[in-house]
Amino acid sequence: MRVLFVFFVTCTMAAQQHPDWQIQPDWSIRDQGHVDCGEQYSPYPTCAVCTPDWKGHPDCLARGGRACMMSYAIHDARAGHCNLALQESLVTQCHNGSARSAIEAAGSSSVCQYLRHKAPLRSFEPVPKAGDPTPAFDAHGKRLD
């Protein structure tokens, strides 16, 4: 009985360490299945809910879906492009209005700070642009720095 209680308390404490809005980006980082709202992966104006500066990542439709889009979000967060990282995160939640609202309410600053420390699936990580920091990862995809 004591082991069960310790397990419950440990799990409860672990769940409380992360706000609910972080669950969905974490899921999207790993999800390579079919995407909803494929038009939102395309540049504006095809994406009706995106801002006019949205360039989209239509390549993600053919190579990893949400995991690919989140690799761009992580890359952009690390480069300090927080509004873009937020928008990329929101696109992966077009099918889930409550998750999208929670991420949006967290704001670009919080989303950016959270994503900077995440590891994308290596096969979908975008090629860094000149001058962007290049993080190091171990064999399991965990960031080393």
| Per-residue pLDDT tens digits for 78-88 | 999 999 999 99
The 3-class SS string of 71-131 reads HHHHHHHHCCCHHHHHHHHHHCCCCCHHHHHHHHHHHHHHHHHHHCCCCCCHHHCCCCCCC
pTM over 0.95: no
The answer to whether residue 13 sits within a structural domain is no
pLDDT (tens digit per residue) in 12-47: 444 457 788 999 999 999 999 889 888 899 887 777
**140 assigned to some structural domain:** no
Q: Has residue 61 been placed in a domain? A: yes
Which pair of tokens denotes residue 15? 């769940």
Determine the structural domain holding residue 46 and report its residue range.
22-124
Residue with the larger pLDDT of the pair 138 and 105: 105
How many domains does the chain contain in total?
1
Residue 120 domain-assigned?
Answer: yes
pLDDT, position 62: 86
Q: Does some domain include residue 116?
A: yes
Q: 1 in a domain, yes or no?
A: no
Residue 136 falls within a domain, yes or no? no
Mean pLDDT of 129-133: 55
Query: What's the whole-number mean pLDDT along residues 112-126?
Result: 84
